[in-house]
Structure 1
């Protein structure tokens, strides 16, 4: 990894994703403190965000605690007049809320798949395509296999109010649909808790929509696939494009290419972008808020068996 100028960084939350952010930022050569309510051997650490802001005086704050705690953490930063950089793990909040007034230099939401080379290649192709006819997206993996150190029944994924459920957990797909194919024009969905998983959140959702660039987008997501799948198939007027984000393959009209990718690379690129004040690829707070609105609209259409148009 290339070393960059040293920043003082604060990572709020020290679960699996907080630990990953901490490790990568330290490897990039930055000074990193953490906030966690749990006892830890990591140093420096603070028991709450207020003490950390006063004691550490960070340039950049990464909010990586539970989704249900994101709004309160963001509000603390806003109320204390924090003027540095902010990255918030996805989804932005567990439900749609207005963004607190703030003085941040820049704030973004961690939809790091925007930095995946296969999705960037697909976006480049779609940008020059005269017409996108169909888009089929499938993502599925077995929730009990997600976190080896945590009982899935106790994880945030098991509870809608904590930001769990496939619509929120797998909202990367909703973000990149808009990023690549444009905003939706009409939408319907079907989903909920269908399996025997011992959770209180939705485990299956399918969405059908028309977007600005695609006549028909079908998106399926679930917590059930024992063999993980993350695939995109796009039909334009002159190409069939298949993207496999598990195998790192892209196939265009039958011609297959493998693009090896380090699992950390999209996270690294995301941090480097915000530290360089490069807004070109990052997801803004406003865009992430619109994704939350889409989630809530999808839930309404699933309840009332209806379409919603814009």
Structure 2
């Protein structure tokens, strides 16, 4: 790794995910500055991206502000002819829009669960399986418990206009489904704001789809589970695989294996891939745009109560 005080990193946004990126990168030994209008306890801290680019002159920029602010941050980097590396927190944008023309050395989207060893093991199994019959994915956790120092009603997750909602917040599932099981061919969905949470964004969604490698994929996501769950059940022609991403276990035909996995590990691996250049696992702009299209087609299917063909 280019572990040197001469390799400087800038994190744009200092909410919970921005703080995690900053801490992880500092622990890896890199000098990190932030862009934040509100943080006064971190140095160096810049009030805007333009000033940070001019003064800090970073080699690598992590865009970790609110989803509806991602495009403007990218546009500023492009306008200022930034030539370094750029990692954009997921989802890419709140709605699909073409990425600005740029001169970045490399750009990727932070679907860090691709670096989870259990998902990598599952992908390896599926790659070598002749037939995937069904995939059932369930992810849910209670939004008011997400950020202990923040009123959930004020978080971007709670606000549609800031790019919140389960379809976008939990779009890891939509990314890794297509990464492992191939692009969807048709889908339908039901979802929206169903609970009594004081939010304007969608809090429950269920999607049913057919993909290139799987006859049937069901994905359920919500902001409601008081006991967090993130689980996958896959039936292939000769095996049943269960993956539990909360308890870090994989069970194949009843034989369970628990791994020792630190939550920071996927973020570390993601940043190492960006910095060192081993980028085959990283989510590309094209793939992230396809995930945004999947989100918008799920919303359309739910609104029209219909199937959408790819």
Report the Cα distance in structure 2 between the residues aligned to 1:94 and 1:178, rounded to whole angstroms. 19
Aligned twin of 1:84 = 84
Q: What secondary structure sits across from 2:224 in the alignment?
A: coil
How far does residue 42 in structure 1 lie from its aligned partner after superposition? 1.1
Task: Report the CA distance between 1:5 and its aligned residue.
Answer: 4.1
Distance (Å, rounded) in 2 between the aligned partners of 1:51 and 1:204:
40
Q: Which residue of 2 aligns with 1:181?
A: 181
Match of 2:105 in 1: 105
In structure 2, the partner of 1:35 is: 35
Residue pair 1:251, 1:257 contacting (<8 A) in 2 also:
yes
CA RMSD of aligned residues (A): 1.0
TM-score, length of structure 2 as denominator length: 0.98
Verify the 8 A CA contact 2:2 2:275 in the aligned structure 1. Answer: no
The 4+ residue runs of structure 1 with deviation greater than 3 A are 2-6
Distance 1:222 1:39, change over 3 A: closer
State the Cα distance separating 1:285 from its structure 2 match.
Answer: 1.2
Equivalent position of 1:290 in the other structure: 290
For residue 251 of structure 1, give the secondary structure of its aligned residue in structure 2.
Answer: strand
User: Aligned equivalents of 1:254 and 1:38: distance in 2?
Assistant: 50
Any conservation in 1 of the 2:2–2:276 contact (CA below 8 Å)?
A: no
Superposed counterparts of 1:8-157, under 5 Å:
8-157=8-157
Tell me, yes or no, if the aligned pair for 1:131 and 1:213 is still in contact at 8 Å: yes
Q: Counterpart of 1:17 in 2: which secondary structure?
A: helix
Question: Could you give the per-residue CA deviations for residues 186-238 of structure 1, whole angstroms, max 9, x where no partner exists?
Answer: 00000001111110000000000000000000000000111000000000010
Tell me the SS of whatever aligns to 1:293: helix
**Kept after mapping to 2: 8 A contact 1:3/1:29:** no
Number of corresponding residues: 309
Query: TM-score by structure 1 length?
Result: 0.98
Q: How does 1:262-277 map to 2 (within 5 A)?
A: 262-277=262-277
2:129 is paired with a residue whose SS is coil
Query: How many angstroms apart in 2 are the aligned matches of 1:10 and 1:44?
Result: 10
Residues of 2 paired with 1:4 and 1:269: CA distance?
A: 15
Superposition deviation, residue 15 in structure 1: 0.9
Alpha-carbon distance, 1:260 to partner: 1.2
Question: Who is 2:195 aligned against?
Answer: 195
Cα distance, 1:49 vs structure 2: 0.2
- How far the C-alpha of 1:277 sits from its partner, in A, is 1.4
Does structure 1 residue 4 correspond to structure 2 residue 3? yes
| Residue matched to 1:210 | 210
Deviation at 1:28, TM superposition (A): 0.6
Q: Any conservation in 2 of the 1:3–1:28 contact (CA below 8 Å)?
A: no
8 A Cα contact 1:139 1:231, kept in partner: yes
Whole-angstrom CA distance in 1 between matches of 2:10 and 2:3: 17
Give, in angstroms, the shift of residue 3 of structure 1.
Answer: 8.3
CA contact (8 A) 1:95 1:292 kept: yes
Q: Distance in 2 between matches of 1:111 and 1:160?
A: 21
Structure 1 unpaired stretches of 5+: none
Write the deviation string for residues 74-124 of structure 1: whole angstroms up to 9, x where unpaired: 000011111100001011111111111111010011000000000000000
**How far apart are the structure 2 equivalents of 1:39 and 1:174?**
33
Aligned position for 2:167: 167
